[in-house]
């Protein structure tokens, strides 16, 4: 799973801390998502999409690997 | 950085366990030692009971503070629990053959240390991985 969360956050001009507070998660969680180390739950993905007023697919892209 | 509010449950458990083990070992009076064991155990068990019985995630402090931290905690707890079982199984039969002079209480304390270290190391490791 890949994402453009960092780009969306930069466009909205919000810090990781501010976004985390808005979505009721830790700043480290936003950081881990941006670095591709953590795939968020469906609920958090929806919250992110709602926050940026876009669809989940605009932020997250899923490309199956050979293992899938 | 230690944030007291979020780390209260862990701090209380560690203090309770510390008092019941190291604390009780250090005092000279036997009565005081028993008191520390009972008091420290009550503190640790009380905190664990509150965490276990109340469904509010806030009772777990930092451990269940958000979805990523919850996932890390579950993995670290599973790793700690399985390490504990493996240690118990190994010690249960091996002590007789290796060194029969090792007291049961020391073996149990060693197992507790393995459980605690496995959980804490697991938290640190998974925090960096995800």
Running DSSP on this structure, what letter comes out for residue B63?
G
Q: Give the model's pLDDT for residue B4.
A: 62
B14 shares a domain with B71: no
Q: Tell me, yes or no, whether B47 and B75 share the same domain.
A: no
Instruction: Give chain A positions within 8 Å (CB) of B127.
Output: 28
The pTM score is 0.81
Least confident of A8-22, B1-15, B75-89: B1-15
Contact check, Cβ <8 Å, B67/A44: yes
- Could you report the per-residue pLDDT of B62-74, keeping only the tens digit for each? 888 899 999 999 9
Pair A68, A7: CB distance under 8 Å? no
Instruction: Compute φ and ψ for A60, nearest 5 degrees.
Output: -110, 140
Pick the last residue of a domain from B61, B80, B108: B61
Structural domains counted in chain B: 2
Q: Which domains does chain A have, with CATH numbers?
A: 2-54 (1.10.260.40)
> Given B61, B84, B107, which residue is the final one in a domain?
B61
Dihedral of CA atoms B122, B126, B129, B130 in degrees, nearest 10, equals: 180
- Assess contact for A3 and A54: CB atoms under 8 A: no
B67 CB neighbours in chain A (<8 A) are: 25, 29, 40-41, 43-44
Stretch among A18-32, A37-51, B35-49, B50-64 having the lowest mean pLDDT: B50-64
Per-residue pLDDT of A21-36, as tens digits, reads 999 999 999 999 999 9
CA distance B62 to chain A (A): 10
- The whole-number average pLDDT for the span B33-58 is 92
Contact with chain B for residue A16, Cβ under 8 A: no
Domain housing B37: 1-61
């Amino acid at each position: 799973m890949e994402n453009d969360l960092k780009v969306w956050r930069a466009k909205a001009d919000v810090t990781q801390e501010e976004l985390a507070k808005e979505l009721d998660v830790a700043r480290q969680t936003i950081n881990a998502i941006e670095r591709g180390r953590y795939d968020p739950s469906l609920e958090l993905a929806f919250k992110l999409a709602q926050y940026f007023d876009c669809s989940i697919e605009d932020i997250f892209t899923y490309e199956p690997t050979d293992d899938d | 950085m230690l944030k007291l509010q979020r780390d209260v449950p862990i701090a209380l458990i560690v203090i309770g366990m510390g008092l019941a083990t190291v604390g009780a070992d250090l005092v000279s009076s036997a009565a005081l030692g028993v008191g520390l064991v009972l008091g420290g155990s009550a503190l640790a068990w009380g905190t664990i009971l509150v965490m276990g019985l109340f469904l509010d995630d806030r009772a777990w402090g930092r451990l269940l503070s958000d979805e990523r931290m919850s996932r890390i905690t579950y993995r670290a707890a599973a790793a700690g629990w399985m390490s504990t079982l493996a240690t118990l199984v190994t010690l249960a039969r091996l002590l007789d053959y290796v060194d029969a002079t090792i007291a049961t209480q020391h073996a149990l304390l060693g197992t507790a240390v393995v459980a605690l270290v496995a959980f804490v190391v697991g938290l640190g490791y998974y925090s960096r991985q995800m």
